[in-house]
Amino acid sequence: MQREIEAWGIPTISLSNNPTATRRLSPPRWAHVRFPRGSMLGEPGNRDKQRRVLTDALQAMVAMTEPGGFVELPYRWEADPVMWRGKPLRESSYS
C-alpha cells in the first residue's frame, strides 16, 4: 500500500517494529521503532514521545535521497508490557 501511494506521487514513510518483515516489502522509506504491536508511537498519553517519533520520522525523510532508506529511532517502551493472548508482547512479535 505504501508503495502504491508513493507511485501516485506522494512521498511516504512508514513506521515498523519488524525490520525483517518490512525489508521484504521494499518500502520507499521507513523508520524502525522499538515499540510493541498496536502502539507504534509509544506509550498512551506520552505526548512528548509521540511527537518526537513523528518529528524524527518525518524529518528523516528529508535526508533520504534514494528508495529503501530507513532510520533507527532511539525511543524505547517505558510502560508495563502490552499483553496479547496472555503473553507480554515483544517488539517485533506478530501474533
Q: Which residues lie near another protein (CB under 8 A)? A: 1-16, 24-28, 37-45, 47, 50-51, 54-55, 57-59, 61-62, 65-68, 82-84, 89, 95
* Cβ at position 73, least distance to another protein in Å: 13
* Cβ at position 52, least distance to another protein in Å: 10
> Assign residue 42 a region: left if phi > 0, alpha if psi is -120 to 50, beta otherwise?
left
Question: Nearer to another protein by C-beta: 47 or 72?
Answer: 47
- In angstroms, the Cα distances linking 7 to 3, 25, 28 are 6, 15, 10
For 88, the 3-state DSSP assignment is: strand
